[in-house]
Amino acid sequence: MQTQLTLDARIHGEAFTELPHDLYIPPDALEVYLEAFEGPLDLLLYLIRKHNLDILDIPMADLTRQYMVYVEKMHAIKLELAGDYLLMSAMLIEIKSRMLLPKPAEIESEDDPRAELVRRLMEYEAIKLAAQRLDEMPKVGKAISVASAYYQHISEVKPPEVSLDDLAEAWRNVLKRASNFQHHKVGKAELSVREHMSIILRRLKTDHMLEFSQLFDVVQDGIPKLVVCFLAILELAREGLLRMTQQAPFSPIYVQINSHE
């Protein structure tokens, strides 16, 4: 491929100064112009249309020569596209050389070497025209403006559904969390001062007056409980709910409900 190409370049080496008349483009516009082609097929189509060549009977020599002029130009200005274009050059030259070969009589019906090229050119042209049509079609954001009136968005609040299972699950969670919580305040619940305050008040409600020592079950209760009980009595006294009386030092202390009489 490379050798064919350099050979061809030498043959048409003067193309830089002697562009075919209708192919002449001002040098500074050339780059822009060449970049306008979407690829070798696009360039070939342009040449065919420009020179009114019959796409079904393409004069391969003419087309290839003109095509090579463009490719040389692209090569000269180091256009990135060169690769695809070089491949096409090779294809054109191959077709041209196959056409030069004499056909053996028995394979008379062999396909025209140009058939594949023609098929591709026609397919590309169809797509190219389809693309132009698509481009011209009115589109949203350009020719089509879609209505989008403003509205105050109010989200419809639906009361969430609760099943019995949800409820049971929630309760289990509460218990679980409560047990975690309890873990951190060891023994406080069973030795609650508040609880003992109630117990004492309830006892005094029925018994009206008790001796201080009667409030303590020294045999049954451990020391912590005795302490809590004592604290409860002090607390009740402080809040003015109990009244404690003692006739003389070391005599029994009596406890009764302070009834505000």
Q: How far is the CB of 7 from other proteins (least distance, A)?
A: 23
Q: Could you give the 3-state DSSP secondary structure of residue 140?
A: strand
Residues of span 131-160 touching other proteins by CB under 8 A: 131-135, 137-151
Q: How far is the CB of 202 from other proteins (least distance, A)?
A: 55
Closer CB to other proteins, residue 128 or residue 243? 128
Handedness of CA 248, 251, 253, 256 (dihedral sign): negative
The CA distance from 70 to 243, in Å, is 119
Is residue 88 at the binding interface for other proteins, with CB under 8 A as the rule? yes
The CA distance from 101 to 166, in Å, is 88
Closer CB to other proteins, residue 122 or residue 178? 122
The CA distance from 261 to 258, in Å, is 8
With contacts defined by CB under 8 A, name the span among 10-18, 76-84, 198-206, 245-253 that binds other proteins.
Answer: 76-84
Beta bridge partners of 158: none
Which residues, at least 6 apart from 9, have a Cβ–Cβ distance to it below 8 Å? 68, 72
Is residue 38 at the binding interface for other proteins, with CB under 8 A as the rule? yes
**Structural element, H or E, at residue 258:** none
> Under rule CB under 8 A, how many of the chain's residues touch other proteins?
44
Determine which residue in the list 1, 115, 178, 209 makes contact with other proteins, applying CB under 8 A. Answer: 115
Q: Confirm if 227 and 234 have CB atoms less than 8 A apart.
A: no
Is residue 130 at the binding interface for other proteins, with CB under 8 A as the rule? yes
Is residue 11 at the binding interface for other proteins, with CB under 8 A as the rule? no
Q: Confirm if 215 and 255 have CB atoms less than 8 A apart.
A: yes
Closer CB to other proteins, residue 81 or residue 231? 81
Q: How far is the CB of 45 from other proteins (least distance, A)?
A: 10
Is residue 42 at the binding interface for other proteins, with CB under 8 A as the rule? yes
Determine which residue in the list 11, 76, 127, 168 makes contact with other proteins, applying CB under 8 A. Answer: 127
Q: How far is the CB of 74 from other proteins (least distance, A)?
A: 13
Q: Supply φ then ψ for residue 24, to 5 degrees.
A: -70, 130
Is residue 222 at the binding interface for other proteins, with CB under 8 A as the rule? no
Is residue 120 at the binding interface for other proteins, with CB under 8 A as the rule? yes
**Structural element, H or E, at residue 141:** none
Closer CB to other proteins, residue 112 or residue 235? 112
- DSSP secondary structure letters along 200-256: HHHHHHHHSEEEGGGG--TTTS-HHHHHHHHHHHHHHHHTTSEEEEESSTTSPEEEE
User: Which residues here bind other proteins, judged by CB under 8 A?
Assistant: 38-42, 55-56, 81, 83-84, 88, 115, 118-120, 122-135, 137-151
